[in-house]
Structure 1
Amino acid sequence: MRRFVLPAVLLAAFVASTAQTIVIAVLPAIARENHVPASAVTWALTAFMLAAAVANPVAGRLGDLFGYRRVLLTCLGVFAAGTVVCAVSRSFPLLLAGRAVSGVSAGVFPVAFGLVRQTVEQPRRPQTIAALSAMFGLGGSAGMVVAGPVRDAWGTAWLFWPLLALALVAIVLGALAPRDAATGGGRVDVTGAVLLAGALACLLLAISESRVWPLAVVVPLAAAALALFAVFTVAELRIAQPLVAVRLLRRRTVATVNGVTAVIAAAMFGAVTMLPRLVQDPAVFGKSATAAGLVLVPMAVVMLVATPLAPRLSGRTAVRLGAGLAVAAFALLACVHDALWSVYVANVLVGAGYGLCFAALGNLVVDAVEPRHTGMATGVNTIARTAGGAVGAQLAAALAYPTGFVLFALVAALAVVAAGAVAPRYSADR
């Protein structure tokens, strides 16, 4: 039943991306409820991100080997279990455990791309991949918009029960979707998975805790990440069935798309993180967390409008146009950040830029590899997006308003330039 594929993967991606950001706007409230310091409560986000970073390439590779639908359902099932733990938790350690388990939901992204590539006909595939890519931003925005009102009205537990309901619907839809053809005959590279998990954990911890932990801890973590990535690369080049095909990632098209993804994610996620803080700042607007979340609504709406336009342009053109809109938005905020109209205009521009960029990048990474490598390649691309977003979020938290917006405008401008190196058409020798 192919008609169930699209709603299943879109809902799964929406749930996973919403789950990541659902706690951001209410972290102060969670800290008060659990009697933990502000420096510790951010682990409610960090635990999810760490699990998500590890789940992406592993789930993608498992999907390539054993079938994307099967892995999609498994990731959703694990997410459902973790979400129940979050909803019923009465202690911060239990909440962290639930968030870590829920982070496995991020594995739905690479397997969703693989399932779409196998089951959706070519004429509809670019639009479907664009819509799937847009779920990153749409779900992420939804998480930040609804968290404040939901928590204020019904309590923290109700941040998670609706996500559980949506996940169960996605499981039913996925179960009704047709089974895809697995390549089979392979094995999971356990050594590579352990090395990559260690490298990603060290990297994301060094990024996410850089403002809290001393340099004596952050620098060794960053060094350990580099060392583990080096060992991982050597190990992957020496085995016949690696977790990540390093040689494939060195192709010009794949490497450039991943680089552009990380850069534009840093700019977009940084600005999106800074905007609610700006709106809540008593010295600027002094709005509530609920009002700050609602400011992001135009961004999500415009994102939905812009996403279907991306496949009508070349991938390179869509990325450059989207990044250019981001430059305009951040430049506006750098000049005028104390008037609410400028925030709304910037949200519209960022929404259009986000929709165009990530819809195009999703299609570019899928088209840049053979079908049997779809899960692996999109998993690595998702890691690039996660790492870039983590860097942007930390910069947003550390910088003042004009300086931060100027920096994000420069980063987005770098993405405009870098996108020019993306090959307009895939060739196996790139």
Structure 2
Amino acid sequence: MTYHAKSEFLHVMMERGYLADCTDLQSLDDALIEGPVTAYIGYDATAASLHVGHLLNIMMLRWFQKTGNRPITLMGGGTTKVGDPSFRSEERPLLTPEAIQSNIDGMQQVFARYLDYSEGKAKMLNNAEWLDNLNYLEFLRDIGRHFSVNRMLSFESVKSRLDREQSLSFLEFNYMILQAYDFLELYRRYDCRLQMGGSDQWGNIINGIDLTRRVLDGEIFGLTSPLLTTSDGRKMGKSAGGAVWLNGAMLSPYEFWQFWRNTTDADVGRFLKLYTELPVEECDRLGALSGSEINAAKIILANEVTTLLHGAEAAASAEATAREVFEQGGAGGDLEVATISADVLGAGLSVVQLLVQTGIAPSGKEAKRLIAEGGLKLNNESVSDPQFAIDTALIGNGLKVSVGKKKHRMVQVG
């Protein structure tokens, strides 16, 4: 993109890699210069915690506030009752109102770490406030008449589902109308002129812009971020153990820190720009390091991201724990956490099977060879018996598994 932004917010978005698309870059830039502007991102309450996949857009809201604007985090207390069908192969399970509220309570804890809600500097709203009491006939007459079913069917998020001949319920089809109505209400109530989201939300955002222009003749904008994958093709936010949650009760600060410490070399510079507030020049310098030096950059990445979410003390503690666990006894290789299910342990697990399941050895034969050569240590104690049994008590809060000086895992029960 060759556009040169004049506003600080758009300059940050483009320089650091947050921007995928915008409905009218020039006009939004002008509005931001006149500023301040109010913007929102919506979050449906489908789980008890947000995960790393949400973090990029949370950082966008943080930068939006840091550059002098007003962010809104919109909790989907209403829309969660319907479920967003975008790019999904099947309908979401319906949640009870109590489960939705419980999830919202868990999600709110995270936003308080990234945004300043004091004195109305940021707002946290719930779309149930205006969606729960809608009169259906009035809504159809006043809002529904502005939507073209033909156009809604053309959006890629819906079209991809229909092309695969997968059912799309009338309930789900209404989701697009409700999200569009959110934008209209936020513009009417709070002069909110910008909706941001992942690029999978483009169709929903466009619907909201069209509706608001038709009903209130308002000049509003949409801006999307790229859907991130890691350099090796994995969806950002997923690990071998499942989702990387942002709530400390669901994923410890140490495990969160480890997730970032295990970043692939090729992603370090990009992730520093997106998930930390370090200067771009420093992100580029650290990302260009190679060999053993890139490990120092990964530690900086892990510390910076963990500090934003859990605080500096938690980040320092995680780094200290990692050094203690992996560096005592001459461990100098990459850090990686592996999770073993309690069911597997209950069925009986030998140390050979442990080496295979944690990825240290590609096969049982190779695991036995490594053990025979005398290179295996469990919590820095040598083990030479391939039939040695691994149980829950041994793993405890974490079992350090080392083969030689460069292959290490922190094994946990999950």
Please indicate the TM-score interval, normalised by the length of the shorter structure: under 0.3
Normalising by structure 1, we get a TM-score of: 0.23
| Higher helix residue share | 1
The structure, 1 or 2, with the larger RCO (C-alpha pairs under 8 Å, 6+ apart) is 1
Query: For the pair shown, which has the larger CA radius of gyration, 1 or 2?
Result: 2
Normalising by structure 2, we get a TM-score of: 0.24
